[in-house]
Amino acid sequence: MRTSKYIAAIGLIISSSAFSLEAQDTILNRSVSVEREYRPVIQDAGKINSVPQVLEPSVVKTPATYSDFNLPLNADYNIHTLAAAELAPEKPNNKEGFARIGLGNYLNTLVDFAYPVINTPDIKLDFSLNHLATFDTKQMHSTTKAALSFDKLFKTFDLYAGVGGGHEYFKYYGDNFNRDSVVDLSNLAVTKGYNTYIEMNPAGVNAPRLFNLNMIAGEPNGETFWRFNSTIGVRSLPLSTDLHYLAEVHYNIFSSLNGLTENNVHTKASFNSPNQKNRMGIDLDMNNMMYNSTGGTQLNFWNNYTVLMLNPYYSIERENWNVRLGLKAAFSFVHGNFINPSADVVAEWKPFPKFLSIYGGLTGDYKVNTLDKIYSENPYLFSGIRVNDTYSPSNLFAGIKLKIVYNLLVDAYVDFRQINNQYFFVNKEYLQVNPALTSNPSADSYLFTDRFNVIYSNATLFKTGVRMAYNYQNTVDVELKGAINNWTVSTEPYAWNKPKYEAELNVGVKINPNLSVSANAYYEGGRFAKLGTLAVPMSDKVDINLGVSYKYNSWLTAFGKINNLINNQFQNFYGYDVQGTNLMIGAAFTF
């Protein structure tokens, strides 16, 4: 877990498939052999995320063997974990419940709880609760989530369902700026409170609005998000029938106290069947979105709209090579381009299956930027912003996976993609409306607040990267990831807030059966923030973390974690400093 500056949270959320196993970056047909065994999935202790992720509860079944194409890192996220070829089986544990508590400086708190209410060979009913927060006076950020997941295994198919919800509260504690420096808006409003400003680059369908300085300075100093969802679905069991199918419906609600409410009915279906030695099928995905305003915020988006995505394909799988031939098309009703097509061609060749694999492809993507997704990426957005969807008409990639020596896997790749309507986070800008200042504006004629806006541009991204993983006798685990991002943005000089360089090193060592230590180092560099016409270099992220855990007996484990060891004052978003060096200690219990 990465240390963050804003202190994070967890946003209770819910959901679904206790039986679902998805590889991180892959989309191809998979052959999965799964043994049902309960093991709660719990995040690493003591790291406060500035961008709380909405995580669906899941139950990991082991072992699982995937036959997938290995795709490189996605453009939207920083660094993903290295996709594993296999998940090693774990020994069953007679103790099924799990609880963990932690406490640290900055009043950081952690609570995890997971318990299988029903745990039989064919029925699972799992409850999970998670809380992560900092109650520091300035940087307060608290997130709590809970979920109930059901899974019923039949002879040839699996029925699953889930329900859950989450609460997130945080303060806006970042700096505000004028043209020259940091500014205190409350103090400035004492003498200039009725000065009129116009918002720049209004999001969505709104025309620019007028605000006086009192209104800007009087924005609420905190925000609350509520998240709820429910899921029901059915899927065929692997290898149980020639026809493989999945059908599921998610209902998600995201509500911002100061902004918008979003209702999302997300329906997914997929079918594929044998065609001689090959398989042919189709994937369908439909989002029905409904919006309304809350808290007096003006709706900046269409009240309702629908996106339907179709992906027919033909899959050829042989012992040493695989090819997927398909097409994608996203149909956006109400706004944007009606049809958004792309290719879906992916291939992998294994000339030496145990040592060497070469892969590549030409694909594309259409991403529905829900409120839930965007406010998880950046909770400090101006209240009520609904970000336009993102379309990548082409994504060309190639790479090589090489096992140089035993247990050392190297994955090197290149990735080039075109992106239409790429969004970038920028500090929200206001310009004073005063004709007398037109020729000689003062510094306070320009204000940039600690709320964020988005601006859009077509862009291309050329990414080169490498991922390496090494394991020694299940005692030493080392993972190294790095990438260089070369952005070209058609209407902007920089890809605002996006890193040019990124790297991560993770090391875990089991000193003996009871004592384990871990270390993590993370780096991001080459980022710029936008303040009007100025490009402001942002400090490099350098985050070093150490952890230790000691198993006292079969039911009790103690842990400690030091985050941001070198006390680096970087910012994930301009104006928001991360926490300094912080320590968390705690204990985990099984029962």
Instruction: Read off the DSSP letter of residue 107.
Output: G
Is cis: bond before 63, omega within 30 of 0?
yes
Q: Please tell me the number of Cα atoms within 13 Å of 151 on its side-chain side.
A: 28
Q: Give me 45's structure tokens.
A: 């202790």
Q: Exposure pattern of 485-509 as b/e (b: 16+ CB <10 Å)?
A: bebebeebebbbbbbbebbbbbbbe
Residue 7 inside a domain? The answer is no
Burial 409-445 (b: 16+ CB within 10 A, else e): bbbebebebbbbbbbbbbbbbbbbeeeeeeeeeeebb
Report the distance separating Cα 118 and Cα 127, nearest Å: 10
pLDDT of residue 207: 81
Question: Which tokens hold the place of 587?
Answer: 């204990």
Environment class of 361 (CB within 10 Å of its CB; exposed 0-12, middle 13-18, buried 19+): buried
Q: pLDDT confidence of 92, banded at 50, 70, 90?
A: very low
pLDDT on residue 353: 86
Element (H, E) at 187: helix 185-192
pLDDT at residue 489 in the model: 97
Q: Identify whether 37 is part of a domain.
A: no
DSSP 209-230: -EEEHHHHHTS-SEEEEEEEEE
- State the Cα–Cα distance between residues 518 and 47, nearest whole angstrom: 13
- Could you report the per-residue pLDDT of 182-202, keeping only the tens digit for each? 999 999 999 999 999 999 988
Task: Tell me, yes or no, whether 21 lies in a domain.
Answer: no
- pLDDT for res 266: 97
Residue 40 falls within a domain, yes or no? no
With the CA atoms of 590, 165, 287 and 205 taken in that order, what torsion angle do they form, in degrees rounded to the nearest 10?
-130
Which residues lie across from 342 on neighbouring strands? 328
Tokens of 375: 């406010």
Instruction: Pick from 12-26, 73-87, 508-522 the range whose average pLDDT is largest.
Output: 508-522
Confidence band (pLDDT; 50, 70, 90) for 79? very low
Cα separation, 216 vs 114, in Å, equals 43
What does the pLDDT read at residue 95?
55
* Residue range 542-581, pLDDT digits in tens: 999 999 999 999 899 999 999 999 999 899 999 999 999 9
28 band by pLDDT with thresholds 50, 70 and 90: very low
Domain count of the fold of the chain: 1
Position 259 scores a pLDDT of 86
Using one digit for the tens of pLDDT, what is the confidence trace for 354-412? 889 999 999 999 999 999 999 999 999 998 888 999 999 999 999 999 988 878 999 99
C-alpha to C-alpha distance for 140 and 107, rounded to whole angstroms: 9
**Whole-number Å distance between alpha carbons of 147 and 164:** 4
25, pLDDT greater than 60: no
Domain-embedded: residue 23: no
Whether residue 53 is contained in a domain is answered as: no
Residue 87 structural domain: 64-590
Q: What is the mean pLDDT of the chain?
A: 83
Looking up tokens 């994930």 gives 572
Rounded CA-CA distance 124/36 in Å is 10
Is residue 376 helix, strand or coil? helix
Q: What is the CATH number of the domain that holds 150?
A: 2.40.170.20
Helix (H, G, I), strand (E, B) or coil at 178: coil
How far apart, in whole angstroms, are the C-alpha atoms of residue 496 and residue 424? 6
| Residue 499 located in a structural domain | yes
The answer to whether residues 166 and 12 touch, using CB atoms and an 8 Å cutoff, is yes
> Is residue 516 included in any domain, yes or no?
yes
Q: Give the tokens for residue 463.
A: 């990414």
